[in-house]
Structure 1
Amino acid sequence: MRTTILVILIFFQISSIDGQTSLKKINLAVGDYKVGFRHYTTIDSTRTYQIRNEFNNQFIYRPIPVSIWYPASIKNTDSKQFTVLEYLEVLKEEEEWKNIPNEFLLDWFPYLWNTPENKGHLSEKAVAFSDASFLEGKFPVVVYAPSYQASSIENFALFEYLASNGFVVISSPSRGTHTRWLEGGTAKDMETQSRDVEFLLKEIHRYKNIDLGNVALMGFSFGGLSNVITVMKNPKIKALVSLDGTERYRYDVMEKSAYFDLNKLHIPYAHFAQKNIPEIVLKEDKIPAELNFKFQLFDSLKYSNVYSYKFHDLTHSYFSSFGVLFGNRDKRQDKSDHQIMDSYKQLSEHTLYFLNATLKNKERAKEFIENSPDKNGFPKSRISKKMKKSLVTAFNYKDFNDLALHQGYKELIPLYKETLAMHPNLKLEEGMLNSLGLRLSFDPERSEQGINVFLLAVHIYPKSANLYDSLAEAYLIQKDFGNAITNFKKSLELNPENQNAINRLKQLKNKARH
């Protein structure tokens, strides 16, 4: 029975009707940024791998194809706008058929389907540009895990949309432990994909334009399942997005992981689910009816804010760009092409709002994810929602200080941002920070920690003359006279009557003369 469920979730339905879709008809509004795209292959030398269709016994170090979308500066005259065909060329490498002619692409890969409508997609213009430079600045990043044995580009339209709105998206294909093929959705497959995501979490450190303090994971289908385990391993992930993730259907696989620990999933988590499967499909495809209502992970989580949506016009396949554009429709349950495209657009918009709320701390986005769909303008017939708040609601300055102490009062500004995203009501009072900073500064063995506290304090209260005065005193204790002078002057700019700063600057000036 479990195998049947997995097969249904993995492969597109094969009962076909004509499709009339296009990128233009999906109508995802481009954001404020141009979008760049790069694809390259790097190596994970800690693991080995075989190219199965080369029919030999040779092992190589594990190749990791990487696709990355990013806010871009289009200055290079060689930059050109991508077409859908150029995206599909990525499949040649990822599916290990590098030399296959383009005219065979729709015939060769069964999830594309060679139809007149699908051939028409190949010349469509996408949003991304090749050979584009990263835009200056720091951008939050979304690390994406594809569905079962799928490509890094399976959701390229969503990725372009997010990049145009100020996010970097990075992805690699879903592949087996030792070859292209997975074993069948096993715990081993899950751990392999989790390790590939962890490789990308290391890969993002190569890019100076990525804000490493704001990282989210997103996955579709089996990728969602793998991401849950990755989050349980890595406490620095700030948010989790699941596109009809298999964690809803295969809780038993997650439990087999050595890293499975519900108490370690304590970040904002959004799960977007498919429509209820009709009775005729449940019966004919031998799918348990509980898939329509059972969500054990949602019911079990205690320490995260969880948002569970159901999109009533989307079946499982259409949570990806490939599914919307290329997938054959199942006449027993699929909605019209117009409804599918419209719902995919709404799925993309909900994803953006969630990421804006959790990684960018935008107030409008935070309101959106707390609202019911109808309050946001979506009829209940289109989208429904369940929401569950973390049991840990009261998080105060003492709790934050415990976290700060645990990491030696280092990297306090990123810690504050991460904590604020999880606990928006956290309030660190100016007076508390000033007292803590002075207490640490007066201790010769902890004076550097005191400076770190004051740097956090002036980040939160940039117009506080008193905090800059205290920061200057902390530098003075360390005999860092240059930074002491700079911060006494900043304090005086904010409060010209600060007599302590006036006196200290005179003393330092006299000291410099002698």
Structure 2
Amino acid sequence: MRMLYLFILLLFQAYGSFGQTSLKEINLDYGKYKVGFLHYIRSDSTRNYSRIFDYSNEKIARPISVSIWYPSEQLTGDESPMKVLDYFQVLKEEEEWEYLPDEQLLNWFYYSNTSANQNHLKEQTKAYPEIEFADGEFPVIVYAPSYQASSIENFALCEYLASQGYFVISSSSRGTDTRWFSDNNAKEMETQARDVAFLIKEVGNFSIANYHKIAIMGFSFGGLSNAIAQNRNEKVKAIVSLDGTERYQYALLKESPFFDIEKMNVPYLHMAQKDIPEKVLKEDNIKAELNTKFEFYDNITKGKGYRFKFNNLTHSYFSTLGMLFAERDIRQDKSDSEIMESYKWTAAYTLNFLNAYLKNEDLALRFLENNPTDNGVRNGLITYSTNRPQSPEFTFMDFNDLASGQQYQNLSQLYDSTVKEHPSFKIPEGSLNTLGLQLVFNPDTAEQGINIFLFAVALYPNSANLFDSLAEGYLFNGIEEKAIENFKKSLDLNSQNQNAIDRLKQLKD
């Protein structure tokens, strides 16, 4: 009996003819490196898990299936690269059907057993199993698959990025308790975010991986978990979303106690599917607002955002497996050649985004900012927009960080340059007073505290309280003459300042 799995969160009913795509016809512009592939299983002992088809009450540590694509300079000679069928061995393992005969693959899992799909299994890929790592360190991409999908679902894109000098790591999308997701998608979203965090930690085991340059990339449901993962981990420097579900299920994302849109402060690239035709919206009971609404993107204020709509791609074809094996929907899908053309451009935009923000390449940044037609994209293939992040509010804490960095010297010059750059910036009098007292009563920072108060009374020359505090600072540090002078200034401004009256009487006695 054929097993039916839910492959993506947004299910669009498929009809009609089968694809005639191929890896060769996509014609990706691979980089200078050979591509190595490594696969193994780790266990997360902090979480329990059950193998659903073992029909056992036994609990095991959560298995983390790890697939890695990496740059290599090894000469491969006559050695043949992997075939697509080899990737399906990983899929079998992740589906917990390790011993399923290969001839049953297309009957058993997601795809129809057609001659075209049988031919896809025989195609050669660009990856070689377990060849040597290239010398040096390479930026990292952590990939989160779609709903319950395999770590290898986007193997062509992962190979492409590895050939361009990236270390790519992925794990399967598993349910919290078993292979299957529960009805609680909020819980499953959190689980996948934890799996992403596990992979980020795993990256640290590889000297080839630059642990300080990490981006996360996800397709469909993986976009939700990646938003949470970025909020939790400051090591994440950029996000690539392949029609991520954060666009469609923002309300679900906001259920997470670990998500805050205000923390989305890294560059973000979202590549979206084409508009869904009215016929499909009506027949499949899909809300029309999915074509236009994007609350997540609209609410990003801290990070740079890029939004590209691929007018020839429906949702499934942002993954390699979907593009190669999925049935086409005659109501909306474009031709196979148009789908492959668009997939190639998704790879190109992903690469340039990563090159811009992980490798700091100006040419790549210009590519992102260009009109797509200026990059050679056929007219009408892609529509795009970018956001301009709001300048973050400059606070007293920001000012104090700068001031402490220069040992609280030249504070007036620092303030003038700050106000020139941030005209609305104001320093609260009370904050200066508190900071000055904190510093002046510490023997190691007493001089810095005096500097704060000298700056403060220059900024607030009518503040009796600040002159009083400055006098207290001088007195505490044994400079009585200056203390008397400033207590008198405080009294001139406020004749009812009892502390200054008492202090002056004490100093005369």
Which TM-score band (shorter chain)?
0.7 to 0.9
For residues 269-284 of structure 1, what are the structure 2 equivalents within 5 Å?
269-284=268-283
Aligned-partner Cα distance in 1 for 2:246–2:219: 10
The alignment's TM-score, normalised by the length of structure 2, stands at 0.75
The aligned counterpart of 2:33 is 33
The aligned counterpart of 2:461 is none
The aligned counterpart of 1:122 is 121
Q: Contact 2:8–2:221 (CA<8 Å) still a contact in 1?
A: no
The aligned counterpart of 1:438 is none
Instruction: Tell me how far 1:92 sits from its aligned partner.
Output: 1.3
Aligned-partner Cα distance in 1 for 2:273–2:97: 32
For residues 450-489 of structure 1, what are the structure 2 equivalents within 5 Å?
none
Aligned-partner Cα distance in 2 for 1:233–1:287: 32
Instruction: Tell me how far 1:379 sits from its aligned partner.
Output: 3.8
Q: Provide the secondary structure at the position in 1 that maps to 2:46.
A: strand
Aligned-partner Cα distance in 1 for 2:101–2:172: 21
Instruction: Tell me how far 1:72 sits from its aligned partner.
Output: 1.1
Question: Letter of the aligned partner of 1:270 in structure 2?
Answer: L
Whether 2:409 is the aligned partner of 1:381: answer: no
The aligned counterpart of 2:96 is 96
Question: Letter of the aligned partner of 1:298 in structure 2?
Answer: Y
The aligned counterpart of 1:187 is 186
The aligned counterpart of 2:431 is none
Q: Contact 1:353–1:368 (CA<8 Å) still a contact in 2?
A: yes
Q: Provide the secondary structure at the position in 2 that maps to 1:133.
A: coil
The aligned counterpart of 1:177 is 176
Query: Measured at CA, do residues 124 and 291 of structure 1 come closer, stay the same or move farther in structure 2, by a change above 3 Å?
Result: same
Q: Contact 1:170–1:200 (CA<8 Å) still a contact in 2?
A: yes
Stretch of structure 1 that moved more, 179-188 or 193-202: 179-188
Aligned-partner Cα distance in 2 for 1:343–1:317: 13
Instruction: Tell me how far 1:12 sits from its aligned partner.
Output: 6.1
Runs of 4+ with >3 A deviation:
6-13, 75-80, 393-396, 398-406
Question: Letter of the aligned partner of 1:45 in structure 2?
Answer: S
Question: Letter of the aligned partner of 1:43 in structure 2?
Answer: S
Q: Provide the secondary structure at the position in 1 that maps to 2:201.
A: helix
The aligned counterpart of 1:135 is 134
Instruction: Tell me how far 1:18 sits from its aligned partner.
Output: 2.9
Instruction: Tell me how far 1:74 sits from its aligned partner.
Output: 2.2
Question: Letter of the aligned partner of 1:247 in structure 2?
Answer: E
Question: Letter of the aligned partner of 1:390 in structure 2?
Answer: P
The aligned counterpart of 1:54 is 54
Aligned-partner Cα distance in 1 for 2:9–2:376: 30
Query: Measured at CA, do residues 374 and 41 of structure 1 come closer, stay the same or move farther in structure 2, by a change above 3 Å?
Result: same
Q: Provide the secondary structure at the position in 2 that maps to 1:307.
A: strand
Query: Measured at CA, do residues 333 and 401 of structure 1 come closer, stay the same or move farther in structure 2, by a change above 3 Å?
Result: farther
Aligned-partner Cα distance in 2 for 1:211–1:82: 26
Q: Provide the secondary structure at the position in 1 that maps to 2:15.
A: coil
Whether 2:18 is the aligned partner of 1:18: answer: yes
Q: Provide the secondary structure at the position in 2 that maps to 1:125.
A: coil
Aligned-partner Cα distance in 1 for 2:399–2:125: 45
Q: Provide the secondary structure at the position in 2 that maps to 1:266.
A: coil
The aligned counterpart of 1:300 is 299
Q: Contact 1:244–1:271 (CA<8 Å) still a contact in 2?
A: yes
Instruction: Tell me how far 1:384 sits from its aligned partner.
Output: 0.5
Instruction: Tell me how far 1:405 sits from its aligned partner.
Output: 8.0
The aligned counterpart of 1:312 is 311
Query: Measured at CA, do residues 404 and 20 of structure 1 come closer, stay the same or move farther in structure 2, by a change above 3 Å?
Result: farther
Question: Letter of the aligned partner of 2:210 in structure 1?
Answer: D
The aligned counterpart of 1:453 is none
Q: Provide the secondary structure at the position in 2 that maps to 1:182.
A: coil
Whether 2:74 is the aligned partner of 1:74: answer: yes
Question: Letter of the aligned partner of 1:350 in structure 2?
Answer: Y
Instruction: Tell me how far 1:16 sits from its aligned partner.
Output: 2.6
Instruction: Tell me how far 1:375 sits from its aligned partner.
Output: 2.6
Q: Provide the secondary structure at the position in 1 that maps to 2:374.
A: coil
How many pairs were matched up? 401
Aligned-partner Cα distance in 2 for 1:356–1:321: 22
Q: Provide the secondary structure at the position in 2 that maps to 1:42.
A: strand
Q: Provide the secondary structure at the position in 2 that maps to 1:375.
A: helix
Aligned-partner Cα distance in 2 for 1:252–1:310: 22
Instruction: Tell me how far 1:305 sits from its aligned partner.
Output: 0.5
Question: Letter of the aligned partner of 1:60 in structure 2?
Answer: I
Instruction: Tell me how far 1:131 sits from its aligned partner.
Output: 2.1
Aligned-partner Cα distance in 2 for 1:403–1:95: 54
Question: Letter of the aligned partner of 1:325 in structure 2?
Answer: L
Q: Contact 1:263–1:302 (CA<8 Å) still a contact in 2?
A: yes
For residues 108-507 of structure 1, what are the structure 2 equivalents within 5 Å?
108-110=108-110, 112-184=111-183, 186-392=185-391, 402=401
The aligned counterpart of 2:469 is none
Aligned-partner Cα distance in 2 for 1:352–1:237: 17
Q: Contact 1:137–1:209 (CA<8 Å) still a contact in 2?
A: yes
Instruction: Tell me how far 1:99 sits from its aligned partner.
Output: 0.5
Instruction: Tell me how far 1:373 sits from its aligned partner.
Output: 1.4
Q: Provide the secondary structure at the position in 2 that maps to 1:361.
A: coil
Question: Letter of the aligned partner of 1:340 in structure 2?
Answer: I
- Structure 1 unaligned spans of 5+: 1-5, 407-444, 447-514
- Structure 2 unaligned spans of 5+: 1-5, 406-443, 446-509
Instruction: Tell me how far 1:79 sits from its aligned partner.
Output: 5.9
Q: Contact 1:12–1:323 (CA<8 Å) still a contact in 2?
A: no
Aligned-partner Cα distance in 2 for 1:80–1:116: 23
Task: Indicate the RMSD between aligned Cα atoms, in angstroms.
Answer: 2.4
Question: Letter of the aligned partner of 1:342 in structure 2?
Answer: E
Larger Rg: 2
**Post-superposition CA distance 1:357-409 (Å, at most 9, x none):** 0100011001111222123232441000111011027999x969949989xxx
Aligned-partner Cα distance in 1 for 2:349–2:402: 31
Aligned-partner Cα distance in 2 for 1:399–1:11: 47
Q: Provide the secondary structure at the position in 2 that maps to 1:64.
A: strand
How many percent identity over aligned positions?
54
Aligned-partner Cα distance in 2 for 1:63–1:92: 14
Aligned-partner Cα distance in 1 for 2:351–2:20: 26
Instruction: Tell me how far 1:217 sits from its aligned partner.
Output: 0.3
Question: Letter of the aligned partner of 1:232 in structure 2?
Answer: N
Question: Letter of the aligned partner of 2:244 in structure 1?
Answer: G
The alignment's TM-score, normalised by the length of structure 1, stands at 0.75
Query: Measured at CA, do residues 23 and 302 of structure 1 come closer, stay the same or move farther in structure 2, by a change above 3 Å?
Result: same
Aligned-partner Cα distance in 2 for 1:47–1:21: 40
Q: Contact 1:76–1:131 (CA<8 Å) still a contact in 2?
A: no
Instruction: Tell me how far 1:8 sits from its aligned partner.
Output: 7.2
Query: Measured at CA, do residues 25 and 75 of structure 1 come closer, stay the same or move farther in structure 2, by a change above 3 Å?
Result: closer
Instruction: Tell me how far 1:225 sits from its aligned partner.
Output: 1.1
Aligned-partner Cα distance in 1 for 2:394–2:318: 36
The aligned counterpart of 2:488 is none
Query: Measured at CA, do residues 402 and 152 of structure 1 come closer, stay the same or move farther in structure 2, by a change above 3 Å?
Result: farther
Instruction: Tell me how far 1:29 sits from its aligned partner.
Output: 1.6
